[in-house]
Amino acid sequence: MNDTFLKACRGEKTDYTPIWIMRQAGRYLPQYLEVRARGKGTFLDLCKDPARCTEVTLQPVDIFGMDAAILFSDILIPMEAMGLTLEFQEGRGPVFPNPIQSEKDVEALIIPDPTATMPFVLKTIKLLRAELKVPLIGFSGAPFTLATYLIEGGSSKVFLQTKKMMFQAPELYHHLLEKISRCTSLYLQAQAKTGAQALQIFDSWAGILAPCDYARFALPYVQSIISDLRRMTDVPIIYFANNGSTLIEHTVTAGADVLGLDWRINIKNAIMRVGNHAVQGNLDPIALFLPEKDLKNRIKKLLEDARGAKGHIFNLGHGVVPQTPPEQVRIAVDAVHEFSVR
Ligand code: CP3
């Protein structure tokens, strides 16, 4: 097995800088669109089909030579298992038609047993481990990010309902977050037990919070999940707080091995502030639209800037966008491998 990615997560010396990219299995790949169309059904049906999930997870590894695979699923799958109705509407993204508004709604949420309610995820992990020659990353959403979808009923711009609940009904908010955290903790533990070799926690919306609110309403739940995980597994844990450069003093206390960085911060500057952590990132996803020469120079500079890190996993600063030409991804992966050889 090529374990360069795992070594970089642990801050051990590697022969080169490993790369994978967030949302690497997805709509920018014609091969993904082909599998998605096959078997018909919705995106959620795809997430519940281990054979097709396995196939699309392998695609970016086989096509580009990524140094890690990320399980094909979605952060909202366990929220459906908690008893909520979830829909993915074309052009609108995820929708929860019955958002969480009251104590009664929170009471009704169940803490699902992952083996009983999400067997398709665990089955996919098993199938993938039998195939993969690179490590498999499992993942979840962070409780705060998950809560925004449940409270807003979908994606949001100003997060009015979420912040109103925090400020006006903090007990209700904390009760909801406790239940989501319990569910997430069990879900990640099940992934590790089944064979996930690293775990990433996506806090996609952390950056919309003031640092004082992040410290009270988001961070403690990430800390509690990670401390649960530490009791049962030593798989590396990556915490990605998107738009989180204003939160680094807090995110370093989450307990993760690796901090994911978005592109809004210079990686050198971030490395000085992350202490004893490896870092993952942080090319602007839209930099993949640069002309080849400029893209390569940009990657070379990023690798140089990251040299002082305890460990560096090359990634984008957020997910690859669907319009990205796959050829540009190939150029980026090859450039990282070529320029980082030690
Ligand atoms: O390759 C991979 O990264 C693995 C699969 C993966 C998906 N979603 C598949 C997906 C992962 C790791 C996610 C995480 C996820 N899902 C996040 C956190 C990462 C981030 O981008 O901030 C969030 C916030 C979600 C929730 C979600 N799922 C949204 C908001 C949307 C709609 C927006 C969009 O990108 O379309 C999805 C749908 C989704 N999840 C798709 C894929 C491939 C597109 C669905 C399709 O094929 O039509």
Tens of pLDDT, residue by residue over 108-129, are: 999 999 999 999 999 999 999 9
User: ∠ CA(141), CA(146), CA(148), 5° rounding?
Assistant: 145
pLDDT of residue 39: 80
Cβ 32 under 6 angstroms from ligand 1: no
Structural domain span for residue 133: 4-339
Query: Taking 90 as the threshold, does the pLDDT of residue 201 lie above it?
Result: yes
What type of residue sits at position 297? N
Cβ 202 under 6 angstroms from ligand 1: yes
Which of 33, 74, 149 should be mutated for ligand 1, with most atoms under 8 A from CB?
74
Which of 75, 146, 187 should be mutated for ligand 1, with most atoms under 8 A from CB?
75
Contact 100/176 with Cβ under 8 angstroms?
A: yes
What type of residue sits at position 188? L
Structure tokens at 23: 């949302």
For ligand 1, atom 38: residue with the closest CA: 93
CA–centroid distance, residue 221 to ligand 1 (Å):
22
Residue 159, phi-psi category: left (phi > 0), alpha (psi -120 to 50), beta (remainder) = left
For ligand 1, atom 8: residue with the closest CA: 74
Q: Which residue has the tokens 């929860």?
A: 96
Element spanning 228, H or E: helix 219-232
Of 15, 33, 28, 14, the residue nearest 64 (C-alpha): 28
CATH no. for residue 330?
3.20.20.210
Cβ 74 under 6 angstroms from ligand 1: yes
List, for residues 8-53, the tens digit of each pLDDT value: 999 999 999 999 999 999 999 999 999 999 987 899 999 999 999 9
pTM of the entire predicted model: 0.98
What type of residue sits at position 262? D
Interatomic CA distance for residues 191 and 196, integer angstroms: 5
pLDDT of residue 40: 78
Cβ 43 under 6 angstroms from ligand 1: yes
List, for residues 292-324, the tens digit of each pLDDT value: 999 999 999 999 999 999 999 999 999 999 999
Interatomic CA distance for residues 200 and 203, integer angstroms: 10
Contact 235/191 with Cβ under 8 angstroms?
A: no
pLDDT of residue 89: 86
Contacts of 6 (CB under 8 A, 6+ apart): 135, 197, 198, 236
Number of domains, the chain: 1
List, for residues 210-256, the tens digit of each pLDDT value: 999 999 999 999 999 999 999 999 999 999 999 999 999 999 999 99
Handedness of CA 293, 298, 303, 308 (dihedral sign): positive
The neighbouring-strand residues paired with 259 are: 239, 279
pLDDT of residue 210: 98
List, for residues 73-89, the tens digit of each pLDDT value: 999 999 999 999 999 98
Interatomic CA distance for residues 315 and 200, integer angstroms: 13
pLDDT of residue 253: 98
Query: Taking 90 as the threshold, does the pLDDT of residue 91 lie above it?
Result: no
β-strands 198-203, 136-141 pairing: parallel
Collapsing DSSP states into helix, strand and coil, what is residue 92? coil
Q: Which residue has the tokens 């096509």?
A: 63
List, for residues 276-297, the tens digit of each pLDDT value: 999 999 999 999 999 999 999 9
Element spanning 293, H or E: helix 292-305
**Residues 170-197, mean pLDDT to the nearest whole number:** 98
Cβ 75 under 6 angstroms from ligand 1: yes
| Residue 94 main-chain phi, psi, to 5 deg | -75, 140
pLDDT of residue 123: 98
Residue 23, phi-psi category: left (phi > 0), alpha (psi -120 to 50), beta (remainder) = left
* Atom nearest to 33 CA in ligand 1: 47
